[in-house]
Amino acid sequence: MPQAWSRPENRPLSRRMHREKCRPLVRLASGAPVFANGAVTAAMAYAFSSAARSSQPKGEWIFPEGGSMDMNDYDTVMTNGILGDRDQFVLAVNAEQIPGYFNPSSGALGDIFESIGQKFFGWAGDSLAAGFSQGLAGVDHPMRIIAHSQGTLTVANAAKYYGLPQGSTLIMRSPAISRWRANSAANAIGGSMQYVQPYGDIANIYAPSLNPVRWMSGFRDVFCGACTHTANGLP
């Protein structure tokens, strides 16, 4: 079995990254994104931001076996969605010679809870996005960033709240975010975006669009067991 090289996330944070990691607290304290039901929202936001701050970045950067471990030597990276399988991810990293940010699974419910936190409270702190951004912090050229499903939440939050290489191309496959939000993430880094959301993908339900037919088509995937969604995954 081929093994990949992985880099532990033990580098100290740069001043910029540290400021960015602390931003959620500041924003929460300032009360900026509080809704009418402020108490509940703030409580949930606090829970997500605490989880994000209290732990090391959850994801793991994996590099192709025998390849460079300097991110500047690559032009493409990828990240997976929920219920990730590390062996499959390592195989993909080696077969494509593309480094990847592996998002380990905490079980279906844990992953779904995490996704909800990233989707609705990403501004309050997102440890996956922080780790993703940290891995690309020293890159001096635009990257091609491929993300699937929950990975699109990680990438969008990384772009908006933590920073990614300027001018990068975000390839969002079966995104769990709307086209507007994906565009907004790409704009935040002065980059471009490919939104790959097939009709009939379950992700249409929770990545709302103004097209009701597209939204409704997502329910078809519920009955085939998210077959369209999983068939649109990462290399």
Partner 1 sequence: MRMLFKLPSMLLLTLLMGCNMSGCGMAGTEPFVDAEKDEQGNLRLLDTPRMWQNWTENVDFRVSNEVAGRRPPGGKSTWNDFWLRLIDENREARENAQKYINYIIEKRQEAGLPPLESYPE
**Which residues, other chains included, contact 10 with Cβ-Cβ below 8 Å and sequence gap of 6+?**
56
**Torsion over CA: 122, 125, 126, 129 (sign):** positive
Residue 220 makes CB contacts below 8 A (sequence gap 6+) with 200, 228
Cα 50 from Cα 37, distance rounded (Å): 20
Query: Please, which residue, 24 or 100, has the CB nearer to partner 1?
Result: 100
Answer for which of 56, 88, 187, 211 binds partner 1 (CB under 8 A) is 88
Shortest distance (Å) from residue 235 CB to partner 1: 4
Maximal C-alpha separation, the chain: 54
Q: Which of 209, 122, 196 is nearest to 159 (CA)?
A: 122
Among residues 18 and 75, whose Cβ is nearest to partner 1?
75
Cα(193)–Cα(195) distance, rounded to whole angstroms?
A: 6
The set of residues, in sequence order, having a beta carbon less than 8 Å from that of 24 and lying 6+ positions away, is 49, 52, 53, 123, 124, 125, 161
Would you count residue 37 as binding partner 1 (CB under 8 A)?
Answer: yes
> Binder to partner 1 among 17, 47, 83, 188 (CB under 8 A)?
83
Q: Is 58 in the site for partner 1 (CB under 8 A)?
A: no
Segment interacting with partner 1, rule: CB under 8 A, options 16-24, 48-56, 123-131, 215-223: 215-223
Residue 212's SS3 state is helix
Q: Which stretch binds partner 1 (CB under 8 A): 51-59, 105-113, 128-136, 181-189?
A: 105-113
> If binding is defined by CB under 8 A, does position 226 make contact with partner 1?
yes
CB of 50 to partner 1, least distance (A): 18
Q: Which stretch binds partner 1 (CB under 8 A): 24-32, 112-120, 152-160, 184-192?
A: 112-120
Judged by CB under 8 A, does residue 216 bind partner 1? no
Contact with partner 1 (CB under 8 A) among 51, 112, 137, 188: 112
Task: List b or e across 151-175, with b for residues whose CB sees 16 or more CB atoms inside 10 angstroms.
Answer: bbbbbbbbbbbbbbbeebbbbbbbb
Question: Which residue, 4 or 20, is less far from partner 1 as judged by CB?
Answer: 4
Rounded-to-integer distance, Cα 49 and Cα 122, Å: 8
Say how many C-beta atoms besides its own lie within 10 A of residue 20's C-beta.
20
For partner 1, the closer CB: 92 or 158? 92
Q: Give contact residues for partner 1 (rule: CB under 8 A).
A: 1-2, 35-37, 40-41, 64-68, 70, 73-76, 80-85, 87-89, 91-92, 94-98, 105, 107-109, 112, 115-116, 119-120, 144, 148-149, 202, 205-206, 218, 221-227, 229-235
